[in-house]
Amino acid sequence: MEIKEAKGKLGILVVGVGGAVSSTFIAGTLAVRKGQGKPIGSITQLATIRLGKRNENRFPKIKDVVPLADLKDLEFGGWDIFPEDIYQAAMHAEVLKKEDLDKVKDELEAIRPFTGVFDQEYVKRLHGTHVKKGKTRWDLVEEVREDIRKFKEEKHCERIVVMWAASTEVYIPMSEEHKGLSVFEKALKENNTAVISPSMCYAYAALAEGCPFIMGAPNLCVDIPAMWEFAAQKKVPICGKDYKTGQTMLKTVLAPMLKTRMLGLSGWFSTNILGNRDGEVLDDPGSFKTKEVSKLSVIDTILQPELYPDLYGDVYHKVRINYYPPRKDNKEGWDNIDLFGWLGYPMQLKVDFLCRDSILAAPLCLDLVLFADLAARCGFSGIQTWLSFYFKSPMHDFETIPEHDLFIQYSKLKNTLRTIIGEKTIDHME
């Protein structure tokens, strides 16, 4: 496989660059490359990969054998509907301590967001003050494209990756305007705001500029036929959707455990409390529905109730998210799982995950931008199913069943990397 060299600077443009996830990701990456912290949670920076047979004892770090961009070559920027620089935004988010932020304060203060694409109807709990003025969705796309070109020129970047790390938009179903590129572009130009969301403006603009696009929220956005067609036309990788961090990550571990042991499931009740901007946005029923659909899809896909009706044919699955400002970014995800075993005797499993949402998401962001850039340099385009490991709702076309099992996803990720570097894939048969 021919892989273009990762030469020159790689620009990372983040939608929602001033949010808790983005500011934590950027500040942490800057700290790591200055030797002020460790990239814990990042597969690209810490994980090893087995090459060849087990008895060959070849377990190099991924970053030592896969031609990824170097952290020193990353340039950060992005868009936000609030004007704060990233130091101010990170202080406001209260995820990282001031003493840690001060180590990279100058670099963070230098990152100021472009004005964001904003529509109150799509994020009802936020009130943007730093927003674009385009009259139509098409005008807004053109403004975003100009921002990408400007950033690339001013920062002397060879390549750009665009990542969505902004709030969850209200739920919208797939419509006829999403099913083909020509009708989608017509809706953009006619300013059909009912079916063209702000996130779609960013995704279309990124693809138009030849930039890989990563969708980190559960919004309907790049997971539509129009975008698949555009990505294929532009030969650009896309991936998503909704970063898999806390409670859903545990579901993709625990549900396969039940299935592999052929244990039955009666019900799974999940509730969350969280603060910060993410919790405030999800307090709106429209945005919550988008997130709920993403979270609910995991168990059914893993357990395959149509194949195992006696075990999983009547599962009651409930998800709740509660806005609780005192918790800020320190989310708590609580699960009550009612299962049954031999002769149908009931058991229970209870999990209480007191996690830090942005601390879990930040290393995912780093891995995804490096892998998306790698995919582009490998000539990959369209949906990158090998990156499903990172998402709650792995993107797939209408003919493909998504894989949710975390360990199968991880195996696929590593086998793709082995293929890229010319090594044999591993099936664990020997």
Per residue in 79-89, pLDDT (tens digit) is 999 999 999 99
**Comparing C-alpha atoms, which of 141, 147, 87 is closest to residue 112?**
87
**Amino acid (1-letter code) at residue 256:** P
Query: Which of 62-66, 288-292, 404-408 has the weakest average pLDDT?
Result: 288-292
Per residue in 317-327, pLDDT tens?
Answer: 998 888 888 98
- Give me 179's structure tokens: 């099913």
Confidence band for 300, pLDDT divided at 50, 70 and 90: confident
How far is the CA of 18 from the CAs of 88, 151, 321, 347, 352, in angstroms? Answer: 8, 17, 23, 44, 29
Domains in the chain, please, with CATH?
9-243+359-420 (3.40.50.720), 247-354 (3.30.360.10)
**Comparing C-alpha atoms, which of 78, 84, 87 is closest to residue 109?**
87
Query: Is 281's pLDDT higher than 80?
Result: no
Q: Could you tell me the sign of the dihedral formed by the alpha carbons of 138, 139, 143, 145, in that order? A: positive
**Amino acid (1-letter code) at residue 340:** F
Of the two residues 368 and 392, the one the predictor is more confident about is 368
Residues 136 and 189: beta-carbon distance below 8 Å: yes
Dist. CA 145–CA 206, nearest whole Å: 7
Task: Give strand pairing partners of 292.
Answer: none
- In the prediction, which pLDDT does 294 show? 63
Q: Percent of the chain beyond pLDDT 90?
A: 81
Confidence band for 401, pLDDT divided at 50, 70 and 90: confident
Residues 270 and 335: beta-carbon distance below 8 Å: yes
- In the prediction, which pLDDT does 301 show? 85
Residues 264 and 312: beta-carbon distance below 8 Å: yes
Query: Is 73's pLDDT higher than 80?
Result: yes
Residues 17 and 86: beta-carbon distance below 8 Å: yes
Query: Is 377's pLDDT higher than 90?
Result: yes
- In the prediction, which pLDDT does 57 show? 93
Contacts of residue 284, defined as CB under 8 A and 6 or more positions apart, other chains included, come to 123, 124, 125, 170
Listed as own residue / partner, the contacts of 191-197 with beta carbons closer than 8 Å and 24 or more positions apart are 191/135, 191/136, 191/137, 191/138, 192/137, 193/119, 193/121, 193/137, 196/137, 197/119, 197/122, 197/169, 197/172, 197/221
Dist. CA 382–CA 345, nearest whole Å: 47
Per residue in 152-211, pLDDT tens?
Answer: 999 999 999 999 999 899 999 999 999 999 999 999 999 999 999 999 999 999 999 999
Per residue in 89-142, pLDDT tens?
Answer: 999 999 999 999 999 999 999 999 999 999 999 998 889 999 999 999 999 999
- In the prediction, which pLDDT does 327 show? 85
Query: Is 291's pLDDT higher than 90?
Result: no
Dist. CA 419–CA 428, nearest whole Å: 16
Overall average pLDDT of the 20-42 stretch: 97
Strand 74-80: give its sheet, edge to edge.
114-115, 74-80, 9-15, 157-164, 213-215, 237-240, 382-383
Q: Across all residues in the chain, what is the average pLDDT?
A: 94
Query: Is 430's pLDDT higher than 70?
Result: no
Contacts of residue 429, defined as CB under 8 A and 6 or more positions apart, other chains included, come to none
